[in-house]
Amino acid sequence: MSGSNTDRAADRPAEVTDPLLWDMSAAVADAHQPDAEGRCASPSCAGAAWPCAPWDTAQVGLSAARTPSAAAASPHTPVPHTGVRPGADGDGPGTTPAPVTGADRLVATAA
């Protein structure tokens, strides 16, 4: 583990319920700090005004990492799911059963 990851773990608040999300969000926020001109210093933002979209998203992640999710509170709670995918044209119900994925659960708990 690198020194920065160790420091981040030491700085993690006690109320964090998702350490991985916290660490990843903190790393993004750290990489997207403002420069002297008030622009994002990250090369990936190419001088965008600060706060940039990645920094804003990191703040959402930091907040979510402190909040127990419904899935974390009860991992066996069924997630509402229709069981079918939209038709091939996207305009109506189809008939192919859709497996429930981790992404479906994430979307359902975020709603």
pLDDT digits (tens, 9 = 90+) for 26-61: 999 999 999 999 999 999 998 899 999 999 999 999
pLDDT tens profile 74-109: 555 554 555 555 555 555 555 545 555 555 554 444
Q: What's the pLDDT score for residue 100?
A: 55
Q: How far apart are CA 69 and CA 104, in angstroms?
A: 14
Tell me if 33 sits within 8 A of 45, measured CB to CB: no
Q: How far apart are CA 57 and CA 63, in angstroms?
A: 10
How many secondary structure helices (H) and strands (E) does the chain include? 5, 2
